Amino acid sequence: MSWASRTSPVQAGDKVAYSKRFLQSIGCHIGGMASARGVVIAIVPVGEVVLADIAWDTPDLPEQVNVRNLSRIMNGVVMDHD
């Protein structure tokens, strides 16, 4: 897999998780949010912000998340680029 494909922006169909940086910024290191995984259903631009509609495997998480707070999952590995 190429570097470009590993570092490309989140797209519809991607498997995602909350990024390590985001989870640390809100003090969430364990629990449902930290272990949640989902699939991006659609990308929704809202002004300067880009949101992702996500189908999560964990209940009670927001359906739309800023793509800056997400990391892609590739080959079972969370691809954090901090």
In angstroms, the CA 47 to CA 32 distance is 30
**CATH class for domain 10-79?**
mainly beta
Report the relative pairing of strands 15-18 and 64-66 from DSSP bridges. unpaired
How confident is the model over 33-72, as pLDDT tens digits?
888 999 999 999 999 999 999 999 999 999 999 999 999 9
Assessment of whether the complete model's pTM goes beyond 0.85: no
How far from the centroid of its chain's Cα atoms is residue 58's Cα? 13
Q: Taking the domains of the chain in order of start, what are their residue ranges?
A: 10-79
Which residues partner with 45 through β-bridges?
A: 50
How confident is the model over 11-38, as pLDDT tens digits?
999 999 999 999 999 998 777 888 899 9
